[in-house]
Amino acid sequence: MFVFLGFGIPLLFGAHIYFRNHINRPLQQLVSLLALLHFFVAGYLITVAHEQVLYPSHYTYADKASELLVRIKNNPQQKVKSISCHVELLSAIDSTGSRSVLGDAQLYFQKDSLSALLAYGDYLLIANRINEIITPKNPHQFNFKKYYAQRNIYHQGYLSSGMWKHTGQNKTNWLYAMSYQWQAYFKKQFSEYFKDREVRGVAQAIVFGYNEDLDDEWLEAFSKTGTIHVLAVSGLHVGIIYLLLSGILLMRRSNGRSLKLKSAVILLCLFAYCLLTGFAPSVSRASIMFGVVIVAKAFQRRSNIYNTLSFACFLLLVVSPYNLYNVGFQFSFLAVVGIVYYTDTFRKWVPVSSYLGDKVVTLLSVSVAAQITTFPIGLYYFHQYPNLFMISNLIVIPCITVILYLGILFLLVVPFSNVLASFCAKAVMLYIDFIAGVVHFLQDIPYAFFEGIHITLTQMLCIYGLILGITFSIRHKSKTALALAATCVLIFLKADISFERHLPRSEVALFEVGRDLLVGLREGNKISFVASEGIYKDQKKLDFIIRPYLVKERLDREYAIIPAILLGGPSALGTIEFLGNGVVWYDNKSYLFLDYTNTYIRDTLKLDCIIVGKSKSVDYMNKVLPRLQSDRIYIPAIRANETSQMDLLKKTKAIYFVDYITI
């Protein structure tokens, strides 16, 4: 790989310079295409080189070890019931000795007095309780296996007290160590001056990107009003800081050595902000972009914004190719492309002469421009669209500017003046209360947002093709671009029809929910769920399983939750008939939920399907199942190891050990 990069890049660069100087346009374009291909291949090779799981020394091939030596790679995060750490696996230890291993893992430590002292860089000796991260057992759920794989993490584990010990060693990267120390210090100061947890969570997220204290309801309100970006440190925050610094230092009036000195000061401040935010990809991207522009101006060089953006993207991907899979990374770059390309066009459509009018139109233009290039990917990932984003951004962004300025002033003065720090904190709280009231008010307006929208990857690409086609047909009067837009519309509709055609009209879906029960009875675009008490009383668990299923299957958001206790007696709900003793009649078929039989089955019963469940004993099933005649018997996969104790199952072919299945 290094030979490929070391010889290829200089060779192509030299060829490009040669053909440019000799004005050979076709050969120069060919060399440029080869250079792009070269970088693409190089990117692929770098990504493969980062895939630790491909190496023979990866932990995957040493998972039989009894103990592991690990090092904590991040700042431990406080969870509700545990402490979360990203660790680097160093050595696997067994009876034969120890050997070096590669790999990362996500560990969760039981909360106690010792785990509370865990810190970045600590070396730990742990019991080998690490397991491979599994794919989700239910359809359309968030894929944690894929999420962590994109961060080179393939294993996770939970360690209770006594299953680990500190070796007394610690090794850190001084930059990250400094970043975590700053964050810890400022979190402590915010906790002292901001007593309201919801307000403190928003303030920390805006000022230096710490989002562990964000309230879920507030987060949802910002998301539904199209202002969620203000809670993630990004190019917006870097731009606000740059404007403040350039104004204070009077950059427009500077030149020569003075301009270079002031540029160095701004670069140093932007680097310090990157350090404070833990080098968040969006902040790093924006800082690199501003840095290139600042250096170019200091040396009186012209810079092309698209080249600058590409350079920032290139550097971040060289450092970590997995940034490409980061949703924030994708949103950040797409938003900047939209703002750069469309803002001036929209700004010219509404000419205004007043200063305030100019600022309002510019802000609206920026909001629309960013939405154009980000809404397709927003629909694809988050399945919602904020209809009032222009109004919310027009109010929130100016407030965010003030909050960020006051927040930075708070960080600067808190070590020296309690009075000034208290004043800044109270002012920040007033602004946050105001914008929280705005977003909550806008959220409650009818049709403030669309949610539950599902588009496929093909449809998302078609929307981007449509945007490009319309843009170039208007700007360049291109008929080819117009034809591209029309083609994208046709492909989008075809993909939609094909998706709808393959959706089942009726089905019974058995979900994997541990020791509980969740069964979906679907008819057309309506669905009812039969749920045990542990499910329907836990709204978070219910939403985690049901909402992705409803969205991806394009079912109506209105659904019914039927308590499983109704399976015990006779009743009817719509097309679902409960015949009692665990028997349900639905879609001209009979289903027996064995866990919910409340009287002993003495007579022979013929059923279309038997759902065994997890609570009845093996002895009970051995006595009851011989009296039941059915073409299909579904048993949870976790009970597969009980087959040796169940004589009937050895003789029955219609047995299915399942996690999630549709009948």
- Which residues are 605's β-sheet partners? 628
Q: Both tokens of residue 52?
A: 């630790």
CA distance 423 to 196: 16
What's the distance, CA 582 to chain centroid? 40
- Domain spans, the chain: 2-50, 59-172, 194-320+386-451, 326-385, 457-500, 506-662
> What is the reported pTM?
0.80
Q: How far is CA 432 from CA 224, 228, 426, in A?
A: 17, 14, 10
Indicate the class that CATH gives domain 59-172: mainly beta
> Radius of gyration over alpha carbons of the chain, in Å?
30
Backbone angles phi, psi at 76, to 5 degrees: -55, 135
Q: What is the pLDDT of residues 190-211, one digit of tens each?
A: 888 888 888 888 888 888 877 7
pLDDT at residue 128, rounded to an integer = 87
Contact by Cβ (8 Å): 173, 162: no
CA distance 599 to 190: 60
Per-10-residue mean pLDDT of the chain, 663 residues long, equals 55 59 65 73 77 82 82 87 90 84 91 88 90 87 86 89 89 86 86 86 82 78 80 76 80 76 86 82 77 78 77 79 81 84 81 76 83 89 84 84 87 87 90 88 84 87 92 85 90 86 79 85 84 85 86 79 85 84 87 83 81 80 79 77 61 67 75
Within a 10 A sphere around the Cβ of 580, how many other Cβ atoms? Answer: 17
Q: In sequence order, which residues have a C-beta less than 8 Å from that of residue 328 and are 6 or more positions away?
A: 232, 234, 280, 281, 282
What's the distance, CA 571 to chain centroid? 43
Backbone angles phi, psi at 119, to 5 degrees: -140, 160
DSSP β-ladder status, 560-563 and 526-531: parallel
pLDDT at residue 25, rounded to an integer = 65
What's the distance, CA 59 to chain centroid? 26
pLDDT at residue 9, rounded to an integer = 60
pLDDT at residue 430, rounded to an integer = 92
pLDDT at residue 467, rounded to an integer = 92
pLDDT at residue 7, rounded to an integer = 56
pLDDT at residue 21, rounded to an integer = 59
Q: What DSSP assignment string belongs to 420-480?
A: HHHHHHHHHHHHHHHHHHHHHHHHTSTTSEEE-----HHHHHHHHHHHHHHHHHHHS--HH
3-state secondary structure of 384: strand
Q: How far is CA 17 from CA 21, 27, 394, in A?
A: 6, 11, 47
pLDDT at residue 31, rounded to an integer = 67
CA distance 106 to 129: 11
CA distance 160 to 108: 9
Q: What is the pLDDT of residues 162-184, one digit of tens each?
A: 889 988 898 888 888 888 888 88
CA–CA–CA angle 199, 201, 207 (5° rounding): 100
